[in-house]
Amino acid sequence: MNDGLTLQAFLARVNIRQMLAPLLIVMILSMMVLPLPTFALDVLFTFNIAISIMVLLVAMYTMKPLDFAIFPTVLLVTTLLRLSLNVASTRVVLLHGHSGPDAAGKVIEAFGHFLVGGNYAVGIVVFIILTLINFVVITKGAGRIAEVSARFTLDAMPGKQMAIDADLNAGLIGEEEARSRRANVALEADFFGSMDGASKFVRGDAVAGVMILFINIIGGLIVGVLQHDMSAADAARNYTLLTIGDGLVAQIPALIISTAAGLVVTRVATDKDIGQQLASQLFGNPMVLVLTATILGVLGLIPGMPNFVFLLLAGALGLIAWRQFKRPASAEKSAAAAVAEAPKPVENVEASWSDVMPVDVLGLEVGYRLIPLVDNAQGGELLKRIRGLRKKFAQDIGFLPATVHIRDNLELKPTAYRIALKGVPIGEGEAYPGQYLAIDPGRVSGQLAGTPTQDPAFGLPAVWIDASLREQAHVFGYTVVDASTVVATHLNHLILSHASELLGRQETQALLDHLASESPKLVEDLVPKMLPLGILQRVLQNLLEESVNIRDMRTIIETLAEHAPRTQDAMDLTTQVRIALGRAIVQQLYPSGNELQIMALEPGLERILGQALQGGGEAGGIEPGLADTLLRETAAAAKHQEDLGLPAVLLVPSNLRWLLSRFLRRAVPQLKVISNTEVPDSKIIKVTSLIGANK
């Protein structure tokens, strides 16, 4: 009983699948040493042929190379299997070749007699031709492509990693998907590198096959004449036919495996297998088929040509072209019939309040060619990306924006889209499904063929390219994104830019309700006892207008509760909240280091602006010449900051911060204005540019 339990526990711990691979390798290597009976040779040769056919079919049905990532290892194992079978069959041929043509098994006999008609001269020629095809054409070409693909894949890795990081930062993908895509990028580089080395196995196998052939022929002649007293002619016939059969039964699977390797490394990754690509791309254009059929038909009418064969193929191609021409016509008839059968509109009833449609807070209108991007049934990913960016917005900014309502608009260009905020367009662009936008980040090493354009989100130069140029674009240093990502990134940029307008009364109340679930007393004491909801909304909008997130609602509510008894002015309250959030504001601008390299105002200019504020109260109180100089010098200083790789931050006194922020924001959008009171005491201030020193 104990022995049974021990054996059962042992079998439970042993993973049979994990043991198969080591056992297979050990068995293959042992065939080089241990003698095998002829029946075992027949089984193993047949198994070798079956494996090669399976590998070829798997290579044809994979959608992308990484779907068959084990292929380099399969190349090594199948090569070892063929070499081991060569050694085992050589032993049997030399030991028993004098007894007849079936001395090494029925498979070798069939390949030696049936395929080459029992003529060893023909067999040698056929074997050499197969070896040359395998070695010189297929294996050499596949090895070269694998080498180039490995180099291009390694060169393109930084660009692909940047694209993944950009999608992650924009909220288009999650952390898990980003990690998976990074792993796929690394796996792709490893795969093509392994394929580059694995192709050497097949080349070496072809060379070894030729050498084994001649060694076996010479060895067979020596064994047959000297040991078995056979005549030279009989020995040559017996041993050469057996050797030819042995060589062919190994070279044909090798040729199939090499073809599979070529198919894997030469195909471009799409959502179709090779058969579907051939049908759609080679036979998809009816005009090509018509011209080919015409040429074949003309050749078939020439006297002396094989007329029947040419005319037969011309008729077959013409029939295929006719059926393809017929498909669009039938589709148009079906569409027309559907329109004709559509029910007639009923007579309009009396108008009612249900006819008043509310304006969508956020809307996305697309042309009809972009409908597949938003249709899950057609594999569209835009909806998923929009959900991801809304989640990312909520995590980074601090509130959940309105749902994006998507609808098609026949008034737009087929490839155009429009983004609207409260019914008013705030952005538009074009996207081309099936193509990729290659964005120039400023350091590309080559030009691409395609449609020049600009990145709709940030205005960078870009070009729409075909899918076949995607890898080349990565190598050149472009950031490559698909059509869904282009639209989603543009939408994300716009909702970040208009975050303050997306925070309405409803969103503010929802934010308070969410906070009240954790701190009910904190919210209850402030709204509406001390502060109306509208003023709280205005304070939060003021923060969002200057790209300050409102995630720390606890600090915001506590600060407002402290100062609300003394003032109800939204601007004064915003100033106090900014002081309370100073550490977070500075951290957002300067993520690392204690030194703040900022721009500042010349003291005389500070004094003049302070007097203007006391006199006029707004930017209109600044003398026009001084205002023009201030704008010009601030823009130059901001550009100098960006050239140094620093954020464009202007440090001013607290009483000037709101005035200068509103005045300079439109002329210098990237500028951030902070006050002295917002900078934590632990930070060191270093002035890099002094605005007004040259006035």
**Any bridge partners for residue 481, and if so which?**
437
Short-list 476, 425, 428, CA closest to 450 = 476
Distance from C-alpha of 156 to C-alpha of 221, rounded to nearest angstrom: 56
Spatial distance between the Cα atoms of 454 and 528, rounded to a whole number of angstroms: 48
Residue 474: the pLDDT is 87
pLDDT in tens, 596-613: 999 999 988 888 888 877
* Single residue among 580, 603, 626 that ends a domain in this structure: 580
Question: Stretch 137-145: mean pLDDT, rounded?
Answer: 73
Q: Which CATH number covers residue 392?
A: 3.40.30.60
Is a pLDDT exceeding 80 seen at residue 568? Answer: yes
Number of independent structural domains in the chain: 5
Question: From edge to edge, which strands make up the β-sheet containing 416-421?
Answer: 404-408, 362-366, 416-421, 424-430
pLDDT of residue 498: 93
Are both 661 and 540 inside the same structural domain?
no
Identify whether residues 525 and 555 lie together within a single domain: yes
Residues 313 and 267 in one domain: no
- Is the model's pLDDT at 341 over the cut of 70? no
pLDDT above 70 for 496:
yes
Tell me the chain's radius of gyration from C-alpha atoms: 38
Question: Per-residue confidence at 7, pLDDT binned at 50, 70, 90?
Answer: low
Same domain, 249 and 114: yes
Q: What are phi and psi of 105, to 5 degrees?
A: 110, 165
Amino acid 227: pLDDT: 75
Instruction: Find how far residue 272's CA is from the centre of its chain.
Output: 16
Angle at the Cα of 181 (from 177 to 183), degrees rounded to 5? 115
pLDDT at 339: 47
Residues 404 and 445 in one domain: yes
- State which of 498, 529, 564 marks the end of a domain: 498
101 and 126 belong to one structural domain? yes
Closest CA to 83 of 258, 253, 197: 253
- What percentage of the chain carries pLDDT values higher than 90? 24
Q: Which residue has the higher pLDDT, 308 or 581?
A: 581
Beta bridge partners of 96: none
Q: What is the pTM of this model?
A: 0.57
Residue 560 has pLDDT above 80, yes or no: yes
Q: Is the pLDDT of residue 428 over 90?
A: yes
pLDDT in the model for residue 540: 95
Which of the two residues, 695 and 528, has the higher pLDDT score?
528
How much is the average pLDDT of 18-30?
A: 74
What is the three-class DSSP state of 422? Answer: coil
Residues 492, 508: one domain? no
Q: Is residue 27 part of a domain?
A: no
pLDDT at residue 265, as a whole number: 74
The whole-number average pLDDT for the span 643-653 is 90
Looking at the fold, whether 217 and 299 belong to one and the same domain comes out as no
- The answer to whether residue 555 sits within a structural domain is yes
How many Å apart are CA 668 and CA 104, to the nearest integer? 86
357 compared with 462, residue with greater pLDDT: 462
pLDDT at 172 over 70: no
CA angle 534–537–543, rounded 5-degree value: 145
pLDDT digits (tens, 9 = 90+) for 661-677: 988 888 888 899 999 99
In sequence order, the β-bridge partners of residue 673 are 650
Average pLDDT over every residue of 583-591: 91
From the list 49, 354, 66, 6, the residue with the least C-alpha distance to 192 is 66
Residues with Cβ within 8 Å of 269's Cβ and at least 6 positions away in sequence, in order, are 63, 64, 65
**Domain assignment present for 236:** yes
What digits encode the pLDDT tens for the residues 350-407?
777 777 778 889 999 999 899 888 887 777 788 888 888 898 999 999 999 989 999 9
Rounded mean pLDDT, 322-334: 63
Q: Highest-confidence range of 233-242, 277-286, 354-363, by mean pLDDT?
A: 354-363
Could you tell me the two tokens for 61?
């049905």
The answer as to whether 333 is a domain residue is no
Task: Copy the structure tokens of residue 479.
Answer: 């950031």
Residue 216 in any domain: the answer is yes
Is pLDDT of 5 > 60? no
Q: Span 263-286, mean pLDDT?
A: 66
pLDDT at residue number 16? 60
Confidence of residue 653 (pLDDT cuts 50, 70, 90): very high
Asked if 65 and 148 sit in the same domain, the reply is yes
For 692, phi then psi, to 5°, come to 100, 0
For residues 86 and 109, give the distance between their C-alpha atoms in angstroms, rounded to a whole number.
15
Q: How far is residue 677 from each of residues 242, 651, 657, measured CA to CA in Å?
A: 95, 10, 10
316 and 170 belong to one structural domain: no
Which pLDDT does position 42 carry in this prediction? 80
Per-residue pLDDT reduced to its tens digit, 97-133: 666 666 666 777 777 666 656 676 777 777 777 777 7
pLDDT of residue 299: 78
Q: Give residue 231's pLDDT band: very low, low, confident or very high (50, 70, 90).
A: confident
Q: Contact, 30 vs 80, CB < 8 A?
A: no
pLDDT of residue 272: 61
Sheet with 451-454, edge to edge strand ranges: 451-454, 461-465, 436-439, 479-482
Structural domain for 483, as ranges: 358-498
Cis peptide before 65 (omega within 30 of 0): no
pLDDT band at 1 (very low <50, low <70, confident <90, very high): very low
In angstroms, rounded to a whole number, what is the distance separating the alpha carbons of residues 489 and 313?
A: 51
385: exposed, middle or buried (Cβ count in 10 Å: 0-12, 13-18, 19+): buried
Summarize the confidence of residues 256-277 as an average pLDDT: 69
pLDDT category of residue 297 using cuts at 50, 70 and 90: confident
* 10 pLDDT higher than 80: no
- Whether residue 284 lies inside any domain: the answer is no
| Mean pLDDT score of the chain | 80
Can you tell me the distance from the alpha carbon of 542 to that of 573, in angstroms, rounded to the nearest whole number?
10
Amino acid type, 117 = G
Region 324-336: what's the mean pLDDT?
A: 58
Identify the weakest region by mean pLDDT among 198-202, 518-522, 590-594, 670-674.
198-202
Is there a single domain that holds both residue 56 and residue 195?
A: yes
DSSP per position, 289-315: HHHHHHHHHHHHTSTTS-HHHHHHHHH
Please check whether residues 607 and 688 belong to one and the same domain. Answer: yes
Q: Taking 60 as the threshold, does the pLDDT of residue 48 lie above it?
A: yes
Indicate the pLDDT class of residue 95, thresholds 50, 70 and 90: confident
SS3 per residue for 107-119 = HHHHHHHCCCCCC
